[in-house]
Amino acid sequence: MSSEYAVFLGLDVGKGTHHACALDTAGKRLHDQPLPNDEARLRALFGKLAEHGQVLMVVDQPASIGALPVAVARAAGCQVAYLPGLTMRRLADLHPGAAKTDARDAYVIADAARTLPHTLRRVDIGDEALAELEVLVGYDDDLAAEATRIRNRIRGLLTQIHPALERVLGPKADHPAVLELLARFGGPAGLRQAGRRRLLTVARKLAPRMGEQLIDDIHTALDAQTVIVPGTTAAEAILPHLAASLRTVLDQRKHLASEVERMLDAHPLARVLTSMPGFGVRTTARVLLEIGDGTSFPTSGHLAAYAGLAPVTRHSGTSIRGERPPKGGNKQLKRAMFLAAFASLADPVSRAYYQRKRDQGKRHNAALICLARRRCDVLFAMLRDGTTYQPPTEQAAPNAA
C-alpha cells in the first residue's frame, strides 16, 4: 500500500464542512484543516496533494454527506476507499487521548489507510446505476418504516377500543380489502352500521376468495363485545385517515419496487443474485449495494464475517471454549441475508439444511442464521464465477443450501 500511494487523505465528512488530514508514507502530516463541502475547495486540495504523488482518499461515510467528496475525488484522479464507522471507533481507542473531535477522527482514518489497508472497503458509488439504486432503496426503507408505524398505530387503536376486532383485522392490516373497509367505515360502530351486505360488496371486489369469510369473522368479533370503551368515537374518526395513509404508503412502495426492478434488469449481476432461492427485488438491491460484485472479499468467510453471520470463537485456557453469535457486522446486509434465508425455506434443499439444524437442537432463528451463513458460500461462488444458481446434485444435496 505504501509503495502504491504517496498520500493518505482521511476525511471526516460533515454536512457543511469536512475535516481533512493528509499523511505521507512516513506518517508526516501534509494537511490538517477543516474543508468546506464545496467542489472548488475539494478540487484545490486534491490538486495540491497530488503534487506529492498518488492520493488515496478515505471517508467514513461514502453516501449522503460524503457523496460529493467521493465524486470530486474520482474526477480528480484520486483513489477512494471507505473505513466502516465501527472499525474507526475501535482504531481510535489505539491512539492516545479520549477526545472525540473531527480532527482526531480524520487523523485516525488517514493513519488506518497508511498502516492498516486491510480495514478499508472499496467504494462502488462511482457506478451511476448503484448510486441511483442507493437513493431508491433508501427511500423504500423510509417508506417501510412509515408503513410499520401506521400499521402499529391502527392495531393499537383497535386493541384499545375493540380487541376482538383487532384479532381479525390486525394480522391482515396490509390487505387492500381491510384497508378499504377501515377507510370507508372506520371502526366497530361504522362497520356494524354498514351492514353485512354492504361490507360484503366492498370486500368481494378486493378479496374474491376470502371476502365472505372476512365479513363473517368481522361480525363474529363485533358480536363478542357490547360495551363501548372510552375513546371509541375519536378512534372511529382517526382510523379512516390512518387506513388511507397506509394504503398510500404501500402503493408508493409497490411503485418504487417496479422502479428498482427496472434498474436491476440493467445490472449484470442482478440475474445472478435473483437466480438464488429467496432473493427478491429488494433483497437483491440491498445485497448489491452492500457488497457490489464481491471482489473486495478474498473468501466466503470474509463475506460472512462482514455480514455478521460467522460465529465468533471464544477460547481461553481450559475454562472457556465455544462459539457465540456475532454482534457486529453490516446490519443491513445481515438482515437481507436473514430474510432471504427465511424466504428460501420453500426451496427443498434449503429446507432440508434448516431442518437438519433444528434436529440438532437449534432454535428457529439460530437455524436460519446457520442457513444464511451456508448460503454466503454459495453466493460468493456465484459472484466470483458470474454464474447463476445451480441446484446441487443428489450426491451433494445433503451438505448444500
User: Model confidence over 324-370: pLDDT tens digits?
Assistant: 666 777 889 999 999 999 999 999 999 999 999 999 999 999 999 99
| CATH class of the 133-262 domain in this structure | mainly alpha
Crossing angle of helices 348-359 and 364-385, in 10° steps, is 140
3-state secondary structure of 390: coil
Nearest to 8 by CA among 63, 68, 59: 59
133-178 per-position pLDDT tens digit:
888 998 999 999 999 999 999 999 999 999 999 999 999 999 999 9
pLDDT of residue 330: 85
Q: pLDDT at position 260, please? A: 92
Asked whether residue 132 carries a pLDDT value surpassing 90, the answer given is no
Mean pLDDT on 228-236:
94
Mean pLDDT on 52-76: 89
Per-position DSSP letters for 19-39, written without gaps between them = EEEEEETT--EEEEEEEES-H
Residue 270 has pLDDT above 50, yes or no: yes
Amino acid 85 reads: G
- HSE at residue 244, side-chain half, CA atoms within 13 A, is 9
The pTM assigned to this predicted structure is 0.73
Residue of 6, 59, 7 lying closest to 35 (CA atoms): 59
Residue 321: pLDDT band by 50, 70, 90 thresholds? low
**pLDDT surpasses 90 at 203:** yes
Contacts of 8 (CB under 8 A, 6+ apart): 22, 23, 24, 25, 56, 58, 110, 111, 113, 114
Residue 227 and residue 374: Cα distance in Å, rounded? 54
Q: How confident is the model at residue 64 (pLDDT cuts 50, 70, 90)?
A: confident
Q: What DSSP state is assigned to residue 63?
A: S
CATH code of the region 7-125: 3.30.420.10
Q: Where are the domains of the chain?
A: 7-125, 133-262, 270-399
